[in-house]
Structure 1
Protein backbone atom coordinates (compact mmCIF):
# COMPACT_ATOMS: atom_id res chain seq x y z
CA UNK A 1 0.00 0.00 0.00
CA UNK A 2 1.32 3.44 -0.93
CA UNK A 3 2.24 5.87 1.83
CA UNK A 4 1.00 8.77 -0.29
CA UNK A 5 -2.45 9.95 0.80
CA UNK A 6 -5.00 10.74 -1.90
CA UNK A 7 -6.77 14.08 -1.65
CA UNK A 8 -10.33 13.17 -2.63
CA UNK A 9 -10.95 16.82 -3.51
CA UNK A 10 -8.38 16.64 -6.31
CA UNK A 11 -9.65 13.41 -7.90
CA UNK A 12 -10.68 13.86 -11.54
CA UNK A 13 -12.76 11.58 -13.72
CA UNK A 14 -12.52 11.06 -17.45
CA UNK A 15 -15.94 10.04 -18.78
CA UNK A 16 -15.80 8.44 -22.23
CA UNK A 17 -18.85 7.68 -24.36
CA UNK A 18 -18.42 5.19 -27.19
CA UNK A 19 -21.28 4.16 -29.43
CA UNK A 20 -20.07 0.86 -30.83
CA UNK A 21 -21.09 -0.59 -34.19
CA UNK A 22 -23.14 -3.76 -33.58
CA UNK A 23 -20.87 -5.89 -35.76
CA UNK A 24 -17.82 -4.75 -33.75
CA UNK A 25 -19.08 -5.46 -30.21
CA UNK A 26 -16.85 -8.49 -29.54
CA UNK A 27 -13.82 -6.74 -31.03
CA UNK A 28 -14.58 -3.62 -28.95
CA UNK A 29 -14.84 -5.66 -25.71
CA UNK A 30 -11.35 -7.09 -26.37
CA UNK A 31 -10.03 -3.60 -27.15
CA UNK A 32 -11.66 -2.21 -24.00
CA UNK A 33 -9.93 -4.80 -21.78
CA UNK A 34 -6.56 -3.78 -23.26
CA UNK A 35 -7.33 -0.05 -22.91
CA UNK A 36 -8.35 -0.45 -19.25
CA UNK A 37 -5.19 -2.45 -18.53
CA UNK A 38 -3.04 0.21 -20.24
CA UNK A 39 -4.57 3.04 -18.17
CA UNK A 40 -3.98 1.12 -14.92
CA UNK A 41 -0.22 1.45 -15.35
CA UNK A 42 -0.24 5.25 -15.42
CA UNK A 43 0.74 7.24 -12.31
CA UNK A 44 -2.24 8.45 -10.31
CA UNK A 45 -4.69 5.93 -11.79
CA UNK A 46 -7.42 5.14 -9.23
CA UNK A 47 -9.78 2.87 -11.10
CA UNK A 48 -12.11 2.29 -14.00
CA UNK A 49 -15.83 1.59 -14.21
CA UNK A 50 -17.45 0.46 -17.44
CA UNK A 51 -21.18 0.84 -17.89
CA UNK A 52 -22.20 -1.49 -20.68
CA UNK A 53 -25.22 -0.85 -22.89
CA UNK A 54 -28.59 -1.90 -21.56
CA UNK A 55 -30.87 -1.28 -24.53
CA UNK A 56 -30.83 -1.25 -28.30
CA UNK A 57 -28.11 1.39 -28.48
CA UNK A 58 -24.58 -0.01 -28.00
CA UNK A 59 -23.39 2.96 -25.91
CA UNK A 60 -20.52 2.20 -23.55
CA UNK A 61 -19.72 4.69 -20.79
CA UNK A 62 -16.27 4.38 -19.24
CA UNK A 63 -15.25 6.28 -16.10
CA UNK A 64 -11.48 6.56 -15.55
CA UNK A 65 -10.38 8.18 -12.29
CA UNK A 66 -7.01 9.77 -11.55
CA UNK A 67 -5.70 11.31 -8.34
CA UNK A 68 -4.85 14.63 -10.01
CA UNK A 69 -5.72 16.56 -13.16
CA UNK A 70 -2.09 16.64 -14.35
CA UNK A 71 -1.87 12.83 -14.16
CA UNK A 72 -5.10 12.45 -16.12
CA UNK A 73 -3.90 14.98 -18.68
CA UNK A 74 -0.67 13.00 -19.13
CA UNK A 75 -2.74 9.87 -19.89
CA UNK A 76 -5.05 11.76 -22.29
CA UNK A 77 -2.08 13.22 -24.22
CA UNK A 78 -0.04 10.01 -24.23
CA UNK A 79 1.01 8.30 -27.43
CA UNK A 80 -0.26 5.03 -25.95
CA UNK A 81 -3.83 6.37 -25.60
CA UNK A 82 -3.66 7.99 -29.05
CA UNK A 83 -2.75 4.60 -30.58
CA UNK A 84 -5.58 2.88 -28.68
CA UNK A 85 -8.14 5.47 -29.85
CA UNK A 86 -6.92 5.25 -33.45
CA UNK A 87 -7.42 1.48 -33.24
CA UNK A 88 -10.94 1.88 -31.79
CA UNK A 89 -12.28 4.53 -34.18
CA UNK A 90 -13.31 2.08 -36.95
CA UNK A 91 -15.44 0.22 -34.35
CA UNK A 92 -17.28 3.38 -33.28
CA UNK A 93 -20.21 5.38 -34.60
CA UNK A 94 -19.54 9.06 -34.05
CA UNK A 95 -15.99 8.82 -32.71
CA UNK A 96 -14.43 9.15 -29.26
CA UNK A 97 -16.15 11.48 -26.77
CA UNK A 98 -14.04 12.08 -23.63
CA UNK A 99 -15.22 14.54 -20.98
CA UNK A 100 -13.18 15.51 -17.91
CA UNK A 101 -15.07 16.12 -14.68
CA UNK A 102 -13.48 17.47 -11.52
CA UNK A 103 -16.65 18.16 -9.58
CA UNK A 104 -19.10 15.83 -7.86
CA UNK A 105 -22.09 17.26 -9.73
CA UNK A 106 -21.06 15.40 -12.88
CA UNK A 107 -23.33 12.57 -11.71
CA UNK A 108 -26.24 14.65 -12.85
CA UNK A 109 -24.67 16.21 -15.96
CA UNK A 110 -26.73 15.34 -19.05
CA UNK A 111 -25.11 12.98 -21.54
CA UNK A 112 -26.01 15.07 -24.58
CA UNK A 113 -25.23 18.73 -25.12
CA UNK A 114 -28.11 21.16 -24.84
CA UNK A 115 -29.95 19.11 -22.22
CA UNK A 116 -30.78 20.74 -18.91
CA UNK A 117 -29.70 19.62 -15.47
CA UNK A 118 -32.36 17.49 -13.70
CA UNK A 119 -34.48 19.28 -11.09
CA UNK A 120 -32.69 19.59 -7.74
CA UNK A 121 -35.47 17.70 -5.95
CA UNK A 122 -34.87 14.66 -8.20
CA UNK A 123 -31.14 14.85 -7.49
CA UNK A 124 -31.88 15.05 -3.76
CA UNK A 125 -34.33 12.11 -3.84
CA UNK A 126 -31.91 9.89 -5.75
CA UNK A 127 -29.00 10.79 -3.47
CA UNK A 128 -31.17 10.16 -0.39
CA UNK A 129 -32.25 6.75 -1.73
CA UNK A 130 -28.63 5.75 -2.30
CA UNK A 131 -27.18 7.03 0.98
CA UNK A 132 -29.99 6.06 3.38
CA UNK A 133 -29.59 2.28 3.14
CA UNK A 134 -25.83 2.60 3.41
CA UNK A 135 -26.11 4.80 6.50
CA UNK A 136 -28.15 2.02 8.16
CA UNK A 137 -26.06 -0.92 6.94
CA UNK A 138 -22.46 0.30 7.26
CA UNK A 139 -22.57 1.05 11.03
CA UNK A 140 -23.95 -2.45 11.66
CA UNK A 141 -21.13 -3.97 9.64
CA UNK A 142 -18.55 -2.04 11.68
CA UNK A 143 -20.18 -2.83 15.06
CA UNK A 144 -18.19 -6.06 15.70
CA UNK A 145 -14.93 -4.23 14.96
CA UNK A 146 -15.88 -1.39 17.32
CA UNK A 147 -16.69 -3.90 20.07
CA UNK A 148 -13.38 -5.68 19.63
CA UNK A 149 -11.34 -2.47 19.35
CA UNK A 150 -12.98 0.16 21.60
CA UNK A 151 -10.55 2.89 20.50
CA UNK A 152 -12.05 2.70 17.00
CA UNK A 153 -15.56 2.80 18.45
CA UNK A 154 -15.16 6.32 19.82
CA UNK A 155 -17.30 9.12 18.41
CA UNK A 156 -14.71 10.59 16.02
CA UNK A 157 -12.91 7.45 14.75
CA UNK A 158 -16.14 5.49 14.25
CA UNK A 159 -17.79 8.34 12.36
CA UNK A 160 -14.72 8.85 10.17
CA UNK A 161 -14.58 5.15 9.25
CA UNK A 162 -18.32 4.89 8.62
CA UNK A 163 -18.40 8.06 6.54
CA UNK A 164 -15.41 6.91 4.48
CA UNK A 165 -17.12 3.56 3.83
CA UNK A 166 -20.21 5.37 2.57
CA UNK A 167 -18.71 8.26 0.60
CA UNK A 168 -16.09 6.36 -1.42
CA UNK A 169 -18.43 3.72 -2.91
CA UNK A 170 -21.18 6.30 -3.47
CA UNK A 171 -18.88 8.66 -5.37
CA UNK A 172 -16.91 6.11 -7.37
CA UNK A 173 -19.31 3.22 -7.90
CA UNK A 174 -22.93 3.64 -6.95
CA UNK A 175 -23.96 7.13 -8.13
CA UNK A 176 -22.51 6.84 -11.66
CA UNK A 177 -24.38 3.55 -12.08
CA UNK A 178 -27.64 4.73 -10.44
CA UNK A 179 -27.83 7.98 -12.43
CA UNK A 180 -27.37 6.03 -15.66
CA UNK A 181 -30.05 3.55 -14.55
CA UNK A 182 -32.46 6.39 -13.66
CA UNK A 183 -31.60 8.63 -16.62
CA UNK A 184 -35.14 8.70 -18.00
CA UNK A 185 -36.63 9.69 -14.63
CA UNK A 186 -33.96 12.35 -14.07
CA UNK A 187 -34.73 14.14 -17.34
CA UNK A 188 -36.40 17.52 -16.75
CA UNK A 189 -40.02 17.56 -17.86
Structure 2
Protein backbone atom coordinates (compact mmCIF):
# COMPACT_ATOMS: atom_id res chain seq x y z
CA UNK A 1 0.00 0.00 0.00
CA UNK A 2 2.75 2.45 0.87
CA UNK A 3 4.37 1.87 -2.51
CA UNK A 4 1.05 2.19 -4.34
CA UNK A 5 0.41 5.56 -2.73
CA UNK A 6 4.00 6.77 -3.17
CA UNK A 7 4.04 5.95 -6.88
CA UNK A 8 0.44 6.57 -7.90
CA UNK A 9 -1.35 8.49 -5.17
CA UNK A 10 -4.96 7.89 -4.27
CA UNK A 11 -5.90 6.39 -7.65
CA UNK A 12 -3.24 3.66 -7.53
CA UNK A 13 -4.01 2.96 -3.86
CA UNK A 14 -7.68 2.43 -4.69
CA UNK A 15 -6.88 0.19 -7.66
CA UNK A 16 -4.44 -1.83 -5.53
CA UNK A 17 -7.00 -2.48 -2.79
CA UNK A 18 -9.76 -3.21 -5.32
CA UNK A 19 -7.58 -5.81 -7.04
CA UNK A 20 -6.23 -7.31 -3.83
CA UNK A 21 -9.62 -7.63 -2.11
CA UNK A 22 -11.76 -7.93 -5.23
CA UNK A 23 -14.23 -5.36 -3.88
CA UNK A 24 -15.15 -1.97 -5.35
CA UNK A 25 -14.07 1.23 -3.64
CA UNK A 26 -16.28 4.13 -4.60
CA UNK A 27 -15.16 6.76 -2.12
CA UNK A 28 -12.01 7.79 -0.31
CA UNK A 29 -10.85 10.20 2.35
CA UNK A 30 -7.17 11.18 2.30
CA UNK A 31 -6.04 12.70 5.58
CA UNK A 32 -2.93 14.71 6.35
CA UNK A 33 -1.98 13.54 9.85
CA UNK A 34 -0.76 17.02 10.83
CA UNK A 35 -4.42 18.05 10.72
CA UNK A 36 -5.13 15.51 13.45
CA UNK A 37 -2.42 17.17 15.53
CA UNK A 38 -4.29 20.46 15.42
CA UNK A 39 -7.72 18.86 16.00
CA UNK A 40 -6.35 16.99 19.02
CA UNK A 41 -5.09 20.29 20.44
CA UNK A 42 -8.46 21.97 19.78
CA UNK A 43 -10.15 19.18 21.78
CA UNK A 44 -7.64 19.39 24.63
CA UNK A 45 -5.55 16.28 23.90
CA UNK A 46 -6.21 12.53 23.97
CA UNK A 47 -5.60 9.67 26.41
CA UNK A 48 -4.13 6.38 25.20
CA UNK A 49 -3.02 3.12 26.81
CA UNK A 50 0.59 2.53 25.76
CA UNK A 51 1.35 -1.24 25.80
CA UNK A 52 5.14 -0.76 26.14
CA UNK A 53 7.58 2.04 26.78
CA UNK A 54 9.67 3.56 24.00
CA UNK A 55 11.59 6.69 23.06
CA UNK A 56 11.38 8.43 19.70
CA UNK A 57 13.04 11.69 18.66
CA UNK A 58 14.12 12.27 22.26
CA UNK A 59 10.59 11.91 23.67
CA UNK A 60 9.93 9.01 26.05
CA UNK A 61 6.53 7.34 26.15
CA UNK A 62 6.33 5.11 29.24
CA UNK A 63 4.10 2.06 29.41
CA UNK A 64 0.62 2.80 30.73
CA UNK A 65 -2.02 5.49 30.38
CA UNK A 66 -0.72 8.62 28.62
CA UNK A 67 -2.22 12.07 28.17
CA UNK A 68 -1.00 13.46 24.84
CA UNK A 69 -1.23 16.81 23.12
CA UNK A 70 -1.42 16.91 19.34
CA UNK A 71 2.32 16.95 18.66
CA UNK A 72 3.02 14.06 21.02
CA UNK A 73 0.01 12.06 19.80
CA UNK A 74 1.28 12.35 16.23
CA UNK A 75 4.81 11.31 17.20
CA UNK A 76 3.42 8.46 19.35
CA UNK A 77 1.31 7.17 16.48
CA UNK A 78 4.15 7.28 13.93
CA UNK A 79 6.75 5.15 15.75
CA UNK A 80 7.28 1.73 14.19
CA UNK A 81 10.94 0.71 14.24
CA UNK A 82 11.07 -0.08 17.98
CA UNK A 83 7.69 -1.81 17.91
CA UNK A 84 7.84 -5.62 17.97
CA UNK A 85 4.87 -5.58 15.57
CA UNK A 86 6.52 -3.09 13.21
CA UNK A 87 4.11 -1.35 10.87
CA UNK A 88 1.14 -3.27 12.30
CA UNK A 89 1.91 -1.80 15.74
CA UNK A 90 2.06 1.68 14.24
CA UNK A 91 -1.33 1.16 12.60
CA UNK A 92 -2.77 -0.01 15.93
CA UNK A 93 -1.46 3.15 17.65
CA UNK A 94 -2.91 5.33 14.89
CA UNK A 95 -6.28 3.58 15.28
CA UNK A 96 -6.11 4.06 19.05
CA UNK A 97 -5.41 7.80 18.73
CA UNK A 98 -8.16 8.19 16.12
CA UNK A 99 -10.63 6.24 18.26
CA UNK A 100 -9.85 8.40 21.29
CA UNK A 101 -10.20 11.53 19.18
CA UNK A 102 -13.63 10.47 17.90
CA UNK A 103 -14.70 9.45 21.40
CA UNK A 104 -13.60 12.77 22.85
CA UNK A 105 -15.36 14.70 20.10
CA UNK A 106 -18.57 12.79 20.93
CA UNK A 107 -18.25 13.34 24.70
CA UNK A 108 -17.39 17.02 24.66
CA UNK A 109 -19.80 19.75 23.88
CA UNK A 110 -17.90 20.62 20.73
CA UNK A 111 -20.39 23.05 19.20
CA UNK A 112 -18.24 26.07 20.09
CA UNK A 113 -15.15 24.32 18.70
CA UNK A 114 -16.87 23.02 15.56
CA UNK A 115 -15.79 25.91 13.27
CA UNK A 116 -12.12 25.36 14.19
CA UNK A 117 -12.45 21.59 13.73
CA UNK A 118 -14.14 21.99 10.34
CA UNK A 119 -11.42 24.43 9.24
CA UNK A 120 -8.78 21.80 10.07
CA UNK A 121 -10.70 19.06 8.26
CA UNK A 122 -11.08 21.28 5.18
CA UNK A 123 -7.37 22.12 5.22
CA UNK A 124 -6.10 18.59 5.88
CA UNK A 125 -8.48 16.14 4.22
CA UNK A 126 -9.32 15.45 0.59
CA UNK A 127 -12.24 13.29 -0.52
CA UNK A 128 -14.49 12.49 -3.44
CA UNK A 129 -17.51 12.41 -1.10
CA UNK A 130 -20.03 15.17 -1.72
CA UNK A 131 -21.65 17.01 1.16
CA UNK A 132 -24.82 14.97 0.54
CA UNK A 133 -22.76 11.74 0.65
CA UNK A 134 -21.25 12.81 3.99
CA UNK A 135 -24.67 13.63 5.43
CA UNK A 136 -26.02 10.26 4.30
CA UNK A 137 -23.05 8.43 5.84
CA UNK A 138 -23.49 10.32 9.08
CA UNK A 139 -27.24 9.67 9.22
CA UNK A 140 -26.94 6.00 8.25
CA UNK A 141 -24.03 5.09 10.52
CA UNK A 142 -23.96 7.47 13.49
CA UNK A 143 -25.51 4.84 15.76
CA UNK A 144 -22.89 2.32 14.61
CA UNK A 145 -19.80 4.37 15.48
CA UNK A 146 -19.34 2.54 18.78
CA UNK A 147 -19.65 -0.89 17.14
CA UNK A 148 -16.90 -0.58 14.55
CA UNK A 149 -15.07 -3.88 14.21
CA UNK A 150 -11.45 -4.24 13.17
CA UNK A 151 -9.64 -7.02 11.44
CA UNK A 152 -6.15 -7.45 10.10
CA UNK A 153 -4.82 -9.03 6.96
CA UNK A 154 -2.46 -11.63 8.41
CA UNK A 155 0.85 -12.20 6.72
CA UNK A 156 4.55 -11.84 7.22
CA UNK A 157 7.43 -9.63 6.18
CA UNK A 158 9.79 -10.66 3.44
CA UNK A 159 12.66 -8.85 1.72
CA UNK A 160 12.79 -9.23 -2.04
CA UNK A 161 15.50 -7.38 -3.92
CA UNK A 162 16.27 -5.28 -0.85
CA UNK A 163 12.66 -4.10 -0.52
CA UNK A 164 10.39 -5.12 2.36
CA UNK A 165 7.05 -6.65 1.39
CA UNK A 166 4.17 -7.81 3.55
CA UNK A 167 3.26 -11.20 2.08
CA UNK A 168 -0.28 -12.57 2.37
CA UNK A 169 -1.43 -16.07 1.49
CA UNK A 170 -4.23 -16.62 -1.01
CA UNK A 171 -6.26 -18.25 1.78
CA UNK A 172 -5.94 -15.10 3.91
CA UNK A 173 -6.81 -12.83 0.98
CA UNK A 174 -9.91 -14.93 0.32
CA UNK A 175 -10.89 -14.80 4.01
CA UNK A 176 -10.72 -11.01 4.01
CA UNK A 177 -12.53 -10.71 0.68
CA UNK A 178 -15.36 -12.92 1.90
CA UNK A 179 -15.68 -10.93 5.12
CA UNK A 180 -15.73 -7.58 3.30
CA UNK A 181 -18.13 -8.85 0.64
CA UNK A 182 -20.54 -10.10 3.33
CA UNK A 183 -20.42 -6.75 5.14
CA UNK A 184 -20.94 -4.80 1.92
CA UNK A 185 -23.82 -7.06 0.85
CA UNK A 186 -25.50 -6.49 4.22
CA UNK A 187 -25.29 -2.73 3.63
CA UNK A 188 -26.55 -2.94 0.06
CA UNK A 189 -23.15 -3.01 -1.67
CA UNK A 190 -21.41 -5.81 -3.62
With the shorter chain as reference, the TM-score category is under 0.3
- TM-score in terms of structure 1 length: 0.28
- TM-score in terms of structure 2 length: 0.28
Q: Which has the larger radius of gyration?
A: 1
